[in-house]
Amino acid sequence: MSLVLGIETSCDDTSVAVLEDGARLRSHLIAAQDMHELYGGVVPELAARAHVELLPRLVCHALEAAEAAPAELTGIAVTRAPGLVGSLVVGVAFAKAYAYALGIPIAGVNHVEAHLHSATLEHGESPWPALCLVVSGGHTELVQVAGFGRYRWLGSTRDDAAGEAYDKVAKRLGLGFPGGPAIDRLAVEGDPSAFSFPRPMLDQPGFDFSFSGLKTAVAQTIDRRGAPPYAAELVRDVAASFQAAMVETLVGRTMAALDRTRARALSLGGGVACNRGLRQALVVQCAARDLPLRIPSPRFCADNAAMIALVGSWMLAAKRAGGSDLEVVASLEESGLADNTLPA
């Protein structure tokens, strides 16, 4: 039996999971750090300090909830890249020390790779090749996946990530942080055709995204109405029109990539995959193509240690574990994950 402790501290959520045999989640805790709301965004220094406070306690709680003794653990999986350096360092330093004390191996997991596979926690193994869309506060990635470790990067955002655009538009509307859930809630009450915002890059070849133009178009529309607070009806209509543009762009690119790659399934990951408009649109499109759609529950879309434990379990089983030399890497590019291992 394998029993892997998963640790995620790449951004502002501290999360710990205990996963048995790469499939049975024995415990899973996520502590969101609410203080960032006060600053309208994640403050890296504060996030790192909060991880220091929360992580040791969460590990104790997670082991208790899993009814597992530390000595029963067979390995530790920890997010090593990409993310906020100060936050990553806390998780990796803790994981190294704990693994050393217990005499067990440690796997340094790539956070984006974990998002690529998070749907497996609930849906089981995917048919290959699959297409995966990771949409979060830090990433917008469209990836062809032929199995664990076999990826071809089709597209990324050239500027803002999808979640970042949600958060910035929400801030302009005075909706607080993080803004994605608030816009998603308001969008169903507003008129999606009230404003005609751009659908960026849909008319261009390739699979890259760009959201800064959309964000600016929304900002200009709001600016013309003066300073906040805005009328509730305006906020609802801007939210609905922005969400319509965002969903149409993400879905349009994804469907084109599905056709190109002849994928046998579509998986989603990342916080924006919680978005109801996006989920509904993809359900309709995938049903029309008779294609399996693998969307994780909201808990597994957002940052979570269960997906880290899952990928870490595979790495440990494949003896792709590191040791005390494990180092953190801030960017996806430098992490090496997006260097294609699948031929075109």
* Residues within the interface to ligand KG4 (CB under 6 A): 11, 136-138, 163, 166-167, 178-181, 184, 270-272, 274-275, 302-303
93 and 63 Cβ atoms separated by less than 8 Å? no
Q: How far is the CB of 243 from ligand KG4 (least distance, A)?
A: 8
Piece of the chain touching Zn ion by CB under 5 A; list 29-37, 100-108, 130-138, 210-218: 130-138
For residue 186, the partner it binds in Zn ion, ligand KG4, none, with Cβ less than 5 to 8 A by kind, is none
Q: How far is the CB of 270 from Zn ion (least distance, A)?
A: 6
Q: How far is the CB of 295 from Zn ion (least distance, A)?
A: 15
Separation between Cα atoms, residue 40 and residue 317, nearest integer Å = 41
Beta-carbon count within 10 A of 312 CB:
33
For residue 87, the partner it binds in ligand KG4, Zn ion, none, with Cβ less than 5 to 8 A by kind, is none
What are 263's two structure tokens?
């994928």
Among 303, 304, 321, 329, interactor with Zn ion by CB under 5 A: 303
Q: How far is the CB of 332 from ligand KG4 (least distance, A)?
A: 11
Of 59-88, binders to Zn ion (CB under 5 A) are none
328 and 101 Cβ atoms separated by less than 8 Å? no
Separation between Cα atoms, residue 321 and residue 336, nearest integer Å = 16
**Total number of residues that touch Zn ion (CB under 5 A):** 2
- What are the b/e assignments for 187-221, b being 16+ CB within 10 Å? beebebebbebebbbeeeeebbbbbeebbebbeeb
Cβ distance to ligand KG4 smaller for residue 136 or 221:
136
Piece of the chain touching Zn ion by CB under 5 A; list 66-74, 121-129, 297-305, 327-335: 297-305
User: Under the criterion CB under 5 A, does residue 136 sit at the interface with Zn ion?
Assistant: yes
Cβ distance to Zn ion smaller for residue 75 or 137:
137
What are 126's two structure tokens?
């995917």
Piece of the chain touching Zn ion by CB under 5 A; list 129-137, 235-243, 250-258, 305-313: 129-137
DSSP string, 190-244: S-TTSS----TTTTSSSS-B--HHHHHHHHHHHHTT-SSSPPHHHHHHHHHHHHH
Cβ distance to Zn ion smaller for residue 241 or 275:
275
Runs of H (alpha helix) within the chain? 44-65, 85-102, 111-117, 120-123, 162-172, 180-187, 212-223, 232-261, 276-289, 298-301, 305-317, 332-335
For residue 184, the partner it binds in ligand KG4, Zn ion, none, with Cβ less than 5 to 8 A by kind, is ligand KG4
Total residue count of the chain as it appears in this document: 344
Separation between Cα atoms, residue 116 and residue 120, nearest integer Å = 9
Of 171-200, binders to Zn ion (CB under 5 A) are none
Cβ distance to Zn ion smaller for residue 136 or 210:
136
Cβ distance to ligand KG4 smaller for residue 30 or 326:
30
Separation between Cα atoms, residue 315 and residue 309, nearest integer Å = 10
Cβ distance to ligand KG4 smaller for residue 6 or 271:
271
Q: How far is the CB of 282 from Zn ion (least distance, A)?
A: 19
Cβ distance to Zn ion smaller for residue 184 or 303:
303
Cβ distance to ligand KG4 smaller for residue 141 or 303:
303
| Residue tagged 């960017």 (tokens) | 331
Q: How far is the CB of 273 from ligand KG4 (least distance, A)?
A: 8
Which positions touch Zn ion (CB under 5 A)?
A: 136, 303
